Amino acid sequence: MEVVICKTKEEASKLAADMITAAVKKNPKTVLGLATGSTPVLMYNEMAKAVKARKVSYKQVKSWNLDEYYGLAGTHDQSYRYFMNENLFKKIDIQIKNTHVLNGLAKDPVKECAAYEKQIKAAGGIDIQVLGIGSDGHIAFNEPGTSLASRTSIVYLTPSTVKDNARLFFKGDMEAVPKSALSMGVGTICEAKKIILLAFGENKQDALKGCVEGPMSQFCTASALQAHNDAWIFCDEAAAKKLKLKKYYAWRSATKLGL
């Protein structure tokens, strides 16, 4: 696991975006795994800037998103499909037919999730998976207690995630937040060839500590990344405050990134 600690979230987002831009330039048919939430927005803006500057094109890129609220249509302004359209897809030259988000209105969620896994496999698997992290250490919607081998399925949100999500979205209304979702599993996520996890702000200190330095456990599903051989954590100083080996991470990431 490479831990890149930057002074600010802006700096971290730019570095992470540069990594994706470089990968897409090298392989224009890159398969991306994408995440929602407030955290990746700055990185998505940086990716869009690179497209505008004609440094890279997403015309042949395909993407699969991590999750979607169960019961929300993709046209709902709080759905993750809507979020992706607004915050990334409309800003880059990706073909919308090449973007995939689980269908929150699927009548048969088991079938929907199995088909999603099949699509990813048929595309050759995910090259780069982008992740945020929940304040309880979850990735996608894999809440504490989810098997680290889990596959894409219907899952249930913890009250703390419902609260976090209501604070940032749904105009603060906890009742309006769906209590279940369709989500890629931890096992599915860990099959990506490269993983980029972003974590910003004080609210993520404990989650990041669990992810990077805690025991690998289903009680912090982000800790599964410890067993991945190409996982990158881009964080700001506020989120990194509780990490013990900060100096070592800084030295190693600077060496690896050629900074």
Q: Which residues share a beta bridge with 64?
A: 33, 100
In sequence order, what E strands does the chain have?
2-6, 31-34, 62-65, 67-69, 99-100, 128-131, 153-156, 180-183, 194-199, 231-236
Q: Which of 13, 21, 30, 39 binds ligand GLP (CB under 6 A)?
A: 39
Task: Judge whether 230 counts as a catalytic residue.
Answer: no
Task: Judge whether 143 counts as a catalytic residue.
Answer: yes
Identify the DSSP state of 52.
H
112, 136, 164, 191: the catalytic one is: 136
Q: Which of 66, 196, 212, 240 binds ligand GLP (CB under 6 A)?
A: 66
How many binding residues for ligand GLP (CB under 6 A)? 14
Closest approach of ligand GLP to the CB of residue 176, in Å? 15
Closest approach of ligand GLP to the CB of residue 134, in Å? 5
Q: Which of 1, 4, 17, 37 binds ligand GLP (CB under 6 A)?
A: 37
Beta carbons of 175 and 212 less than 8 angstroms apart: no
**258 burial level (CB within 10 Å; 0-12, 13-18, 19+):** exposed
Q: Is 232 helix (H, G, I), strand (E, B) or coil?
A: strand
Angle between helices 9-26 and 41-52 (to 10 degrees): 50
In sequence order, what E strands does 75-144 have?
99-100, 128-131
Task: Judge whether 76 counts as a catalytic residue.
Answer: no
x-or-dash string of contact with ligand GLP, 93-132, rule CB under 6 A: ---------------------------------------x
Task: Judge whether 228 counts as a catalytic residue.
Answer: no
Nearer to ligand GLP, 37 or 104 (CB): 37
Q: Catalytic residues, which ones?
A: 67, 136, 138, 143
Residues at the site binding ligand GLP, with contacts judged by CB under 6 A: 35-39, 66-67, 132-134, 140-141, 161, 168
